[in-house]
């Protein structure tokens, strides 16, 4: 199975601290994407990183990709209470970019 797995499963931090979440996957990919899901809502796309990229930034978000280790990390700097949500990575497969696999997610709680 290609399914990615995030760790930790849950993370609780104080507002202002940084949050790091990791994702591992099993087979070669074209892209890896990170999504946020607020409770009971849909998935909001955060960042897409291609397999030939190693790092990408978007505002307070920093994503890294290590294809040799088949892993990615999402760093949220200077976290806010509004960042409280579940975060998922999603991968496709090198020979099939039209089928996506989500991990189990990291539930982030940012305490004010």
Partner 1 sequence: EPEVTQTPSHQVTQMGQEVILRCVPISNHLYFYWYRQILGQKVEFLVSFYNNEISEKSEIFDDQFSVERPDGSNFTLKIRSTKLEDSAMYFCASRGTASNQPQHFGDGTRLSIL
Parallel/antiparallel/unpaired status of strands 19-24 and 55-58: unpaired
Binding segment for partner 1 (CB under 8 A), chosen from 20-28, 55-63, 73-81, 89-97, is 89-97
Parallel/antiparallel/unpaired status of strands 55-58 and 61-66: antiparallel
According to CB under 8 A, which residues from 2 to 61 bind partner 1?
3, 30-31, 33, 35, 41-45, 48, 50
Pick the closest to residue 5 from 77, 66, 87, 65 (CA basis).
Answer: 87
Q: Which residues bind partner 1 (CB under 8 A)?
A: 3, 30-31, 33, 35, 41-45, 48, 50, 88, 90, 92, 96-105
């Amino acid at each position: 199975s290609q399914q990615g797995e995030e760790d930790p499963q849950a993370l609780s931090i104080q507002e202002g601290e940084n949050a790091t979440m990791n994702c591992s996957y099993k087979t070669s990919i074209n892209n890896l994407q990170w999504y946020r899901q607020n409770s009971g809502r849909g998935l909001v796309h955060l960042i897409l990183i291609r397999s030939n990229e190693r790092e990408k930034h978007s505002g307070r978000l920093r994503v890294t990709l290590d294809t040799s280790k088949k892993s990615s990390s999402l760093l949220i700097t200077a976290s806010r209470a509004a960042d409280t949500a579940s975060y998922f990575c999603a991968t496709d497969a090198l020979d099939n970019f039209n089928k996506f696999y989500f991990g189990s997610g990291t539930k982030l709680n940012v305490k004010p």
